[in-house]
């Protein structure tokens, strides 16, 4: 995974914050759980030990993923965004050309995506189609049972 990961400064800071927490706090907690489970004796039949080892493996996997994301992060300078073109960190007002419904999405990096809170990844099908487009452009998004068509009404900073 050596591809650049586009991310906002806020997203980057959250990755670093999570990494720091996992390394400085969670690692110690998991280590204590492991030591405690070892103290129960026979490791071959020790469910607590097995659970603690699984917890440690999951934690180390997450730390590794965060380190890769931080290393490959390309932080978008939101001060340089003009709003002329859809880009990371900007909010896009859209019109569903079929239903007439209007809605907005903030374009964020994949690590910050939260569709329930109107934040979509630049790597999602809609996000990919929107990137680089201008107000007035129409984007077509292929879906399982057809194509969705959206018109860009406005591009703005959040």
**Domains located in the chain, CATH noted:** 5-76 (1.10.287.180), 79-157 (3.10.50.30)
Q: Which of 128, 108, 106 is CA-nearest to residue 9? A: 108
Q: Which of 83, 96, 105, 90 is CA-nearest to residue 140? A: 96
**Residue carrying the six token digits 């914050």:** 17
Please indicate whether residue 8 or residue 97 has the higher confidence score (pLDDT).
97
C-alpha 85/C-alpha 40 separation (Å) is 61
User: pTM here?
Assistant: 0.68
Secondary structure (3-state) at 2: coil
> Would you say 12 and 71 are in contact if contact means Cβ atoms under 8 Å apart?
no
Please indicate whether residue 141 or residue 38 has the higher confidence score (pLDDT).
141
pLDDT of the residue at 1: 44
- pLDDT above 70 covers a percentage of the chain that reads 94
Average pLDDT on 74-101 reads 86
Q: What is the pLDDT of residues 93-139, one digit of tens each?
A: 999 999 999 999 999 888 888 999 999 999 999 999 999 999 999 99
Q: Please tell me the least confidently modeled range out of 18-22, 74-78, 107-111.
A: 74-78
**Residue 135: how many other CB atoms lie within 10 Å:** 16
């Amino acid at each position: 995974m050596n591809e650049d990961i586009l991310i906002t400064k806020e997203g980057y800071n959250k990755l670093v914050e999570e990494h720091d927490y996992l390394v400085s706090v969670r690692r110690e907690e998991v280590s204590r759980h492991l030591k405690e489970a070892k103290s129960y004796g026979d490791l071959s039949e020790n469910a607590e030990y097995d659970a603690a080892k699984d917890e440690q493996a999951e934690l180390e996997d997450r730390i590794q993923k965060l380190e890769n994301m931080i290393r490959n992060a390309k932080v978008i300078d939101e001060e340089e965004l003009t709003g002329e073109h859809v880009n990371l960190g900007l909010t896009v007002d859209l019109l569903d050309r079929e239903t007439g419904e209007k809605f907005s999405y903030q374009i964020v990096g994949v690590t910050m995506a939260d569709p329930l809170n109107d934040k979509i990844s630049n790597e999602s099908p809609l996000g990919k189609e929107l990137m680089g487009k201008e107000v007035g452009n129409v984007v077509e998004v292929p879906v399982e049972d057809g194509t969705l068509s959206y018109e860009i009404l406005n591009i703005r900073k959040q």
